[in-house]
Structure 1
């Protein structure tokens, strides 16, 4: 059956290659083959024994568990030799073709049923020719990448399980590489600490997946090309404007072998099809709901556990206005947030809502003196704005959002001029630096954490403003949302 797919593809000069996927005991995810066409992964092929049902209605328990993950892929072909079903992210096949004859004896006489005509050829051509559709709305973006992230998370978990089953050395005493085990060990201490009793493997797999997805999305929004490129080059270009995210992408992919890179390839292709300008043209504030909507689709339980709910713009505006008034009337900072002695920290930055609003308010206030004062005001404010966020994906969205805010204000101020840190606000600033023994001095992630720790130890702060995650309130999924907002001024 696999040979049949390759033969048809070769006739159409698509140069198909079928990469057999190794299996794990009790593995739930991997299809039999990843199908590469013209140098890119275009789909996945799952083969069943003759007579075995290839539709969800007839799956056994084990097959159904696999199907619940495989159906999230955008292009999957199931076959038992006689029946071929093409799935495109749904529970019902897009196309179904049945062959007539005995699989073992018919040979070249195996044929398509009269009712299906030339449908088999069309099915294979459609399968091998898959390309992601252009993404022009937030809804399309979320519904496209969230299922792929669910699938990739399971792949990481299975990779960790495989490495744990592999002996540390062979008879020749040569060590067997275990890249994901090493990453999980280091990153659980540095950026992905578990503070609420979650399974460390699941936590790492989740954070790994979100980091890859949102780093690639950030690169796409910054017009870094993704198609037919390796992760090293993408990460290098991303670091030019987004140092921490670029370095994180580099670290999480530099030890990935070609086999696992193929598993990320479909996600890369889908994100490369994102037209962010078209999304913003339809939804100017697309950043506002992006991460919340993603979590709702990707993992609702995670959303509830993390208390990830956006703060309504009206509440943000009022909190910023009120704080600005307190600065002016109670603390002698006559220009409010624009006063040069005011340093502002958002300790749970999320997607950058408060910092963006403060930038807009300061620019608007100064524009009353003349439009030319906007850029100058933002430039003076930038170094006094500090944000901490420990969720990598939210941090990436904050960078997207604040970058857009700066561009809107027509200023020379760059994202790097603000002090935005990927860090846990509650982490001990006297201990964290000792956890970077696997990274060299000067590494962007080392510097990111050292600067965050210095701020926590030494920085004089005038305003702390935030709406931190409230897990208790989030348990009800925010039907009647209450907000545990924080404003500390002094």
Structure 2
């Protein structure tokens, strides 16, 4: 199709008097694909209803540009009027780096949110739509340049955080609309299945918006983690990201197996593909290294996460309690625990102790007389060896306390670097345990601990990558007991995390409970198990000033539960100052 043909076609439809912006979509699609044959201009109503721009231009399935089309003669192609296009245009400009707004005859180009140029190939007159042939050549070049756009190289951590946040916001909007649409039309989808599993097993009162937020952040940060491990900077894709997620985090690998595979919901595929383009334009490792130098912070990953969240949604950051726990406070608590283990528990190596104990483990009892001895006739108790100094952070967040334990123990191996990897594999990782409820924080904790271990010089001794030891940080609700598997793939993946965590909750003799658990007077953690434990604190109590159902008190009771079960131990929390008021 030539530009002349295109204008003739839309003019004929326009003159009928009943045309809408949808009337001309096929014509513009044909024109673009005629001018740049290697480009596919996709126009899918299902995607658009969930927040996608009208056209997604792809080259070999990789998004290269986006077009949002309004009705012919639209009066707000600059997106300045609040009541017309401003909100939508601002959202797209903040998240899509190569973008055209058009009314089918006037085209406004934006790169990285900034206006570049505009060109009109026709105008509306009393006789209808009349071509402006003097602009055809410029328009052809503009469309060709638009379709070969190469994103800028991103070198600034703030710019990367801004761009990640913009894409994640758009992804969250799309997911929320998709879930709402599924609910309204009573349709099933893989996204809906995931949210229901999440609601059933982890956060029972989560809304589509809440799920969309954590899911979008997790995808953005999972991509970030994958790119950080990427040795080939000139390529990056959903599929590559799935391969690069560390095997020490099996749940995130399962999530990215879905993201990379053919079953990904088509309504989010385009924006996930576009997200990969951001990471293709940067060297995440270099950016983080420089960020650490300029901020003089020990944990640039965590500070970068804070920057990302403040760009993504400052209110959400506050609501989620994602505030960096000051390093000196964490360091003091870890050193204090180490000192108490030495002085009060007669363990000279403190947190580095590798002594063993045993615990009673319930296992199936098999009939020795049956064939293959496979018939279960009951249960029996066996003595299971386990490390004595087990450490648990029941509200791990981004892994700050567990990271500090690793740093503290690593200091004791100065001059003994040759035995560090063996010690980590056999005597450190089996003792460090963490529970986290929020998927994005959980992904961050894994990323931080994985990179920290690498920085200390740890390398897995297990040979093949397939057998890499997983980090014992689990996506689970600390204040609930194990949740049974409900059968779907996603429920199975989440239940598997909960089941692994349950071995710690049920069997592991935890000696040190540390961390900075949440404070929430209006707690939604009202499960029978923790409420029953809490009744011990309420017996014969006339004090009414302190709300004993606050989450921080539940976590204190939770920690005490482990210490009681073990017979001895240390509970070391950062706590709400109202605890002191209640003494």
Interval of TM-score (by shorter of Structure 1 and Structure 2)? 0.7 to 0.9
Distance 1:28 1:248 in 2: 21
Contact 2:171 2:268 in 1 (8 A): no
**What residue in structure 1 maps to residue 325 of structure 2?**
311
CA distance 1:29–1:108, shift in 2 (3 Å): same
Distance 2:177 2:302 in 1: 34
Distance 2:232 2:204 in 1: 34
Larger radius of gyration: 2
The number of aligned residues is: 456
Contact 1:218 1:400 in 2 (8 A): yes
**1:43 CA drift (Å):** 1.8
Contact 1:87 1:93 in 2 (8 A): yes
**What residue in structure 1 maps to residue 444 of structure 2?**
397
Deviation digits for residues 242-288 of structure 1, max 9, x if unmatched? 31211122346653244542232111222333412212331344212
**Which is worse superposed, 297-306 or 30-39?**
30-39
RMSD (Å), alpha carbons: 3.4
Contact 1:363 1:375 in 2 (8 A): no
Q: 2:103 aligns with which of 80, 94, 104?
A: 80
| Other structure's SS at 2:226 match | helix
**What residue in structure 2 maps to residue 19 of structure 1?**
42
**Structure 1 residue ranges without an equivalent (≥5):** 169-176, 473-482
**1:384 CA drift (Å):** 0.5
Q: 1:297 aligns with which of 301, 308, 311?
A: 311
CA distance 1:315–1:137, shift in 2 (3 Å): farther
Contact 1:215 1:246 in 2 (8 A): no
**What residue in structure 2 maps to residue 332 of structure 1?**
346
**Which is worse superposed, 143-152 or 446-455?**
446-455
Contact 1:21 1:32 in 2 (8 A): yes
Distance 1:12 1:60 in 2: 35
Distance 2:332 2:350 in 1: 14
Distance 2:67 2:403 in 1: 46
**1:344 CA drift (Å):** 0.7
**What residue in structure 2 maps to residue 449 of structure 1?**
498
Contact 1:344 1:462 in 2 (8 A): yes
**Which is worse superposed, 71-80 or 303-312?**
71-80
Deviation digits for residues 306-339 of structure 1, max 9, x if unmatched? 1111112222212211211111111211111001
**1:393 CA drift (Å):** 1.6
Distance 1:246 1:104 in 2: 60
Contact 2:249 2:471 in 1 (8 A): no
| Other structure's SS at 1:164 match | helix
| Other structure's SS at 2:289 match | helix
1:204 partnered with 2:204: no
Contact 1:24 1:162 in 2 (8 A): no
TM-score (structure 1 length as normaliser): 0.82
Distance 1:391 1:208 in 2: 10
**What residue in structure 2 maps to residue 249 of structure 1?**
256
**1:394 CA drift (Å):** 1.6
1:362 partnered with 2:409: yes
**What residue in structure 2 maps to residue 171 of structure 1?**
none
1:138 partnered with 2:157: yes
**1:463 CA drift (Å):** 0.9
Distance 2:216 2:440 in 1: 9
Distance 1:264 1:406 in 2: 29
**1:107 CA drift (Å):** 7.8
Distance 1:186 1:108 in 2: 56
Highest RCO, 1 vs 2 (Cα 8 Å, sep ≥ 6): 1
**1:234 CA drift (Å):** 4.5
**1:98 CA drift (Å):** 3.2
CA distance 1:457–1:300, shift in 2 (3 Å): same
CA distance 1:424–1:243, shift in 2 (3 Å): same
**1:186 CA drift (Å):** 2.0
**Which is worse superposed, 104-113 or 252-261?**
104-113
**Which is worse superposed, 43-52 or 268-277?**
268-277
**What residue in structure 1 maps to residue 171 of structure 2?**
152
CA distance 1:272–1:399, shift in 2 (3 Å): farther
| Other structure's SS at 2:469 match | helix
